[in-house]
Amino acid sequence: MTIPDINQLKQIALELRRLTLKIIFQAGSGHPGGSFSATDLMTALFFGGILNYDSSNPNDPKRDSFVLSKGHVTGIYYSVLAKAGYISESDLDSYRKINSPKFLSGHPHPKTPGIEIASGSLGQGLSVGHGIALGKKLDGYNSKVYVILGDGELHEGQIWEAAMSADKFKSNNLIAIVDYNKVAQDNITKDLKDLEPIEDKWRSFNWDVHRVDGHNMEAIINVLKLPLHPIKPRVIIADTIKGKGVSFMEGKTAWHGVAPSPEDYDKALKELV
Amino acid sequence: MKEGATRDAYGQALLEMGNDQRIVVLDAGVSDSSRSKKFGDKYPERFFNVGIAEADMVCTAAGLATTGKIAFATGFACFLLGRTMDQILVSVAYSNTNVKLVGTHTGLAVGEDGPTAQMIVDIAYMRAIPNMIVVQPADWEETVQATRALAEYEGPAYFRLGRPKIKGIFDSTYKFEIGKGRVVKKGSDLVIFATGIMVQESLLALEILAEEGINVSLVNISTLKPIDRDIIIEMASSHKFIITAEDHNCIGGLGDAVGEVLLDAQISKPFKRIAVKDRFAETGTGAELFEKYGLSANHISLAVKDSLK
């Protein structure tokens, strides 16, 4: 399979934003803001030739693993899984619905093909990802583990427990990506509890720190393609915009966890072209 | 019959199972006391001591389990469970990962460190969680067999261990099975259902009672969930009085678990619960605390006599 080029990846990201908004609109609830800030990152991971996976063999022990630690953004996650072939697009009709055949719950669960672990309670995914990274190394595989963290999630103390552990065990196959959209549910992250100096924090935990514009597809691909650090786990601080792609959602706490009205849905789709 | 602390038996069992490449052991900075260090010294590549970070340990164990490992996450029960209920709920129980949570230093038996180190609510916590099974062995032999059985069992489990030395109760002909209770002594009129260290304490009570010509039955309930309904119904039906005995709070533990079975089966008989009476204890030796807080052999024998009179 040929890997899509940058323009094709941008097109995929656009389609994924439209699909995400559609399923959140149909479900009547969900998290568009944080889905859209993570869309370009997840597009690059899954479709830019970064994550090594085979959706027809989701349990392949040699696979790279992906953990969505900010588990509430299933709008984009399930859209990506459908696009990647783990589930079908028609499965998405049961998003957030009772008796959902692929268990498309509001928050992720491993009953859905392609999902490694349940998430949705913030702060756990980096430890889980680290456990997977340790397991891959024990098995002698060169597999990598990518974990997407929310920025507000960095308030959770467990993130820093995991950061210390991954340093201790020299887990250089663990790559964390911080979706730094600067907006949490309650407030802008800076006012809720400021994360700065965010790079220094990770650096002082002995991580290999990189920074990228989380909506510049070429830059994202380039940073994700960097060879692994010989001993350090890697964190990529991705500067993103909550609600990216829909002008009236961008940077707004109000769009953290609500579905659009029919009018807003139409308005948004007109922008996502 | 081998005597020793259940934590020691666990450490020994892990060491003996170490050739199984699927087994990984984690600890949160107490490996010397929890005895997981024995495994760690021999198999350092499969031993992950994450430091004093229980939440991280539980989720790291869950991640390892998703790669096909059998993950034993070990720590002092107070902190292993007390700090990680959310991690256990989401990354272990709900995700149904093959993680064995091994809590040592349980109950008032821990002694002098006081209530911050005396875990008396863990059975209640863990029984309430879907997908979770709960096992508490009574002696060395049962601990060794249960450690092996838990490794073979696919799914989340809580393994409740203790610090004090326990006299041997079972010999090598004993066969531990998850979900099965075992009659330890057969008597008449009254049956004691006991778990963990309270099996030994009940045996001491039985000795006191035997001197007075009283012979009652004793059942070891080592799996608290799923509990052995059959043996509870059978023994409760064939005796007039029932006592439960546990080194745990009186809410949510063995007493409640047995009571639930009896209620469901519509068995109504005089029923006493030997347990911590919904309060925090204090410092003191384990033996002193057992005496003061109503868990000692003396208290058990008094409860038996009070029932029978």
Phi, psi of B190 (to 5 degrees): -130, 140
Contact A131 B90 (CB under 8 A): no
Residues of A in contact with B57 (CB under 8 A): 127
Tokens 């959209």 — which residue? Answer: A181
- Find the helix or strand (DSSP H, E) in which A65 lies: strand A65-68
Domain ranges of chain B: 4-166, 182-308
Q: In sequence order, what are the beta bridge partners of B135?
A: B159, B223
* Class for the domain spanning B4-166: alpha beta
Residue B68 sits at the chain A interface (C-beta within 8 Å): yes
Residue of chain B with shortest Cα separation from A165: B50
Q: How many CB pairs under 8 A join A and B?
A: 115
**CA distance to partner chain A, nearest, from residue B64 (Å):** 4
Give the residue from B22, B56, B83, B131 with the most A CB atoms within 10 Å of its CB, the best one to mutate.
B56
Q: Is-above-0.80 flag for pTM?
A: yes
Contact B69 A133 (CB under 8 A): no
pLDDT value of position A167: 98
pLDDT over 80 (residue A1): no
Supply A141's token pair.
Answer: 């595989």
The partner residue sitting opposite B90, judged by closest CB among A121, A136, A169, is A121
Residue B69 sits at the chain A interface (C-beta within 8 Å): yes
Residue of chain A with shortest Cα separation from B55: A158
Q: One digit per residue, pLDDT tens: chain B, 309 residues?
A: 999 999 999 999 999 999 999 999 999 999 999 999 999 999 999 999 999 999 999 999 999 999 999 999 999 999 999 999 999 999 999 999 999 999 999 999 999 999 999 999 999 999 999 999 999 999 999 999 999 999 999 999 999 999 999 999 999 999 999 999 999 999 999 999 999 999 999 999 999 999 999 999 999 999 999 999 999 999 999 999 999 999 999 999 999 999 999 999 999 999 999 999 999 999 999 999 999 999 999 999 999 999 999
Task: Walk me through the domains of chain A, giving residue ranges and CATH numbers.
Answer: 6-271 (3.40.50.970)
Widest distance between CA atoms in chain A: 53
Residue B60 sits at the chain A interface (C-beta within 8 Å): yes
**CA distance to partner chain B, nearest, from residue A227 (Å):** 24
Q: Is residue B16 flagged as an active site residue?
A: no
pLDDT value of position B270: 98
Catalytic residue among B45, B54, B234, B246: B54
Residues of A in contact with B71 (CB under 8 A): 131
Strands (DSSP E) contained in A151-201 are: 174-180
**CA distance to partner chain B, nearest, from residue A163 (Å):** 9
Strands B241-249, B133-135: pairing is unpaired
**CA distance to partner chain B, nearest, from residue A108 (Å):** 10
Residues of B in contact with A135 (CB under 8 A): 24, 63-64, 66-69
- Answer whether A191's CB lies under 8 Å from A152's CB: no
pLDDT value of position A186: 86
Give the residue from A59, A103, A134, A171 with the most B CB atoms within 10 Å of its CB, the best one to mutate.
A134
Contact B50 A131 (CB under 8 A): no
Nearest to A71 by CA among A101, A115, A17: A115
The partner residue sitting opposite A117, judged by closest CB among B45, B48, B91, is B91
| CATH number assigned to the domain covering B182-308 | 3.40.50.920
pLDDT band at A92 (very low <50, low <70, confident <90, very high): very high
Strands (DSSP E) contained in chain B are: 4-5, 23-27, 47-49, 70-76, 99-104, 133-135, 157-160, 165-166, 182-185, 190-194, 217-220, 223-225, 241-249, 271-276
**CA distance to partner chain A, nearest, from residue B57 (Å):** 8
Tell me the one-letter amino acid at A125. G
Chain A residues with CB within 8 Å of chain B CB: 61, 65, 67, 109-110, 116-121, 123-125, 127-136, 138-139, 157-158, 161-162, 164-165, 168-169
pLDDT value of position B156: 98
CB atoms within 10 A of CB A229: 15
pLDDT value of position A187: 87
Identical fold between B4-166 and B182-308: yes
Q: How much is the average pLDDT of A73-86?
A: 98
